[in-house]
Amino acid sequence: MEIPQGVFETVKKLQEAGYEAYLVGGAVRDVLLGLTPQDWDVATSALPQDVMRLFPKTVPTGLKFGTVTVIAEMPIEVTAFRREGRYLDGRKPSEVRLGVTLLEDLSRRDFTVNAIAFDPVTGQYVDPFRGMEDLANGRVKIKTVGEPHRVFRDDALRLLRAFSLFAKLHYHVAEIDIAEDTISAIRQEAESIRRISAERIQMELNKIITSAIPHICLERMATVGLLQQILPELYNSRGIGQQGLGEDAFNYSLSVMSYTSPKLELRLAALLHRAAHFRCSPTSDFQGVCCAAESAALARDILARLKYSNHTIATVTHLIANQLSAFPARMPEVRRLVRKVGQEHISALLELEKAKLLAAGGRGLEDWELLVKRVEQVMASGDALTVQELQIRGSDIIKTLGIGPGPEVGRILNRLLDMVLDRPQLNERDALLSIAQKLKDGEGDRRM
């Protein structure tokens, strides 16, 4: 096991001071699987005040729960061995007792593969719940540390963590499943996830959505009654037919998501791009503008409820609202598409449209590929796509036409841009000023 020097020295220093100290949790599990841990956690018999006395740079990040962050070459969370009282609200323990044994500390953890301790100084493992056995033979059964109902009642977020762990380990072991008694308890305790804050739910949901198997996880979550507690709007699309498709709206959305790259905003847009399908007329166009607008509005409500950032909500709803009912064929239409969607979002929209085609069987991919080439041509051409890229400014309009600042200046600039989108060669200062004069005199192209 390759341990960063700062982590090793932290454990060693605690031990040299007479305390027990081990690496614990997901980092031990990941290294055993050959993965690179994102975070390193140390569990120790030292109390927080002992840790702060030993290390020159510390941050008291969670003294109530026995946690101090040691600043070495990286932040390292050092937590005192602890035992937790009953979780009366399914979210927080009624009490936290420090100064207990390592075994008691490992006993409070969620799943057996997360309840392994490792001493990097001696190279010894402590594995009272045999999590290493599953990892070593590559046949992992995700099972709770102790009686499943108690584990989930202690912290209902563990219901969701079972699936995020399933998603994380799926491609790193030969076989993986959730133990039968664990899945049975999830089914019976599913409603208790409602007691968990939206922020905590979102963090675990993001891990699932950006995993390699989001469609498998969400489908399984639906079968045990967990998905409907978190995303009832998505669950309610089960069994609703899709015009021209064999699958229902739920399975189709999962399939679309599975064809996208693991970028959170893109995956969310794929998952929710048909969120309002059940509200739309069954005879409406499959990718109709009305349904896209309603789905964007519903997606906004869903994401706001789950406490996503304003930036994420804006990006996801923008992609959903701008779904294409048909692929533009003429270059002026392609320019208008890039302008409307924005150069920063056009690649994501194109990927979403491809995923929709693949989920529907692949018909139309040739037209999609042609659109991609045309978009690339537009992006590479340097043609003006915004008012800011025109060869004149508002000040030029004011000076040349002798008009004052105001809405009329903006109206003329937007009319000019509309003409340039049709004919990029018009984007020259003299030509634009000449057209602007005609627009002021009422001689402009009134179709624009």
Read off the pLDDT band of 237 (50, 70, 90).
confident
Q: Is the pLDDT of residue 241 over 80?
A: no
pLDDT higher than threshold 60 for residue 348: yes
Per-residue pLDDT, 38: 85
Q: What is the pLDDT of residues 378-391, one digit of tens each?
A: 999 999 999 999 99
Domain ranges of the chain: 1-130, 138-230, 263-381, 387-440
Q: What six digits make up the tokens of 65?
A: 């729960």
pLDDT at site 448: 39
Residue 429: pLDDT band (50, 70, 90) is very high
For 129-138, 250-259, 285-294, 366-375, which range has the lowest pLDDT when averaged over its residues? 285-294
126 vs 115: CA distance, rounded Å: 9
Calculate the alpha carbon distances from 282 to 24, 192, 238, 251 in Å. Answer: 54, 35, 15, 17
Backbone angles phi, psi at 383, to 5 degrees: -60, 145
Q: Write down the pTM of the prediction.
A: 0.89
Q: Which of 72-86, 96-110, 189-203, 339-353 has the lowest mean pLDDT?
A: 72-86
Asked if the model's pLDDT at residue 284 lies above 50, the reply is no
Indicate whether 258 pLDDT > 70. Answer: yes
Distance between CA 415 and CA 418 in Å, rounded? 5
Average pLDDT of the residues of the chain? 91
Quote the pLDDT of residue 290. Answer: 59
Task: Answer for the pair 153, 34: CB distance below 8 angstroms, yes or no.
Answer: no
DSSP string, 157-204: HHHHHHHHHHHHHTTTSSEEEE-HHHHHHHHHHGGGGGGS-HHHHHHH
Report pLDDT for 285. Answer: 46
Q: Which has the minimum average pLDDT: 44-48, 273-277, 376-380, 381-385?
A: 273-277
3-state per-residue secondary structure call for 105-170: HHHCCCEHHHCCEEECCCCEEECCCCHHHHHHHCEEEECECCCHHHHHHHCCHHHHHHHHHHHHHC
- Structural domain 1-130, CATH architecture: 2-Layer Sandwich (3.30)
Pick the CATH number of 138-230 from 2.30.40.10, 3.40.50.620, 3.40.50.720, 1.10.110.30: 1.10.110.30
Per-residue pLDDT tens over the stretch 204-229: 999 999 999 999 999 999 999 999 99
pLDDT at 245 over 80: no
Residue 247 has pLDDT above 90, yes or no: no
Note the pLDDT of residue 63: 87
Assigned token pair, 158: 């563990």
Dihedral sign for Cα 233, 235, 241, 244, please: positive
d(CA 74, CA 36): 14
pLDDT of the residue at 276: 87
